[in-house]
Amino acid sequence: MKNYFITATDTDSGKTFITDLILAGLKVKGNQVVGFKPISAGCNQTPEGLRNEDALILQAQSNVELDYQVINPIAFEPPIAPHIAASLVDTSLSMSLVDRAFNNIEQCALNQNTDYLFTEGAGGWLLPLNTEQTLADWVASRQIDVIFVVGLKLGCLNHALLTYQAIKAAGVKVKAWVANQVSEESMPYQAENIAHLKSVFDAPCLGVVPFCENDGKTSQQIAGKYLDLSSL
């Protein structure tokens, strides 16, 4: 089973959208896929408990059936930094807590002959778990290859280069990256910005995804048109 961690240049850069597309694209090729959201904040109270919109999207796109609590084991209601949300309910986050959640879903996925497991982070690369540990530390400890999403907007070159350098400095392999247009109007000189990133990154670009909100296309159609997943 192949494991990948998906991060982004910032919050609202499109991690869940791109993870959904990758899952959809790999399913078309006959793969068994699972999306994992270990930590979420900004959840809704439901009769079944806290539910996170992003985690529900990953669960719906996965074609290996797992309970919601396996896909999103650590959930908080306030839409704030998870380590702060955890403190509000007298709990704490740690690498060992994430490790236990990952071991659980990994074993469940292996039991169902899963081909790909994608772990989606929260926020950007250096998400704090506590005052000493970040989610990036956990990824480095597991040596999971990273796919990162560049949200195309003014300032993205700086964010993308800092993210790329931080991932490499952690001793983790950047497997690939995706350029994602986050608003209906493209950023100034968008093609030139993408060309620069392609010239400096030593990892393939899986694709450039335009703003697709309300265009009526399915995830499978968008993935098939804009993503090349042959390197995964």
User: 95 Cβ partners below 8 Å, 6+ apart?
Assistant: 129, 133, 137, 138, 141
CA 126 to chain centre: 13
Q: How far apart are CA 118 and CA 121, in angstroms?
A: 10
Q: Which residue has the tokens 């993503």?
A: 227
Q: How far apart are CA 175 and CA 204, in angstroms?
A: 7
From 37, 153, 168, 198, active-site residue: 37
Is the sign of the CA dihedral 1, 67, 71, 105 positive or negative?
A: negative
Q: Is 173 assigned a catalytic role?
A: no
Q: Which of 2, 39, 4, 32 is nearest to 19 (CA)?
A: 4
List active site positions.
37
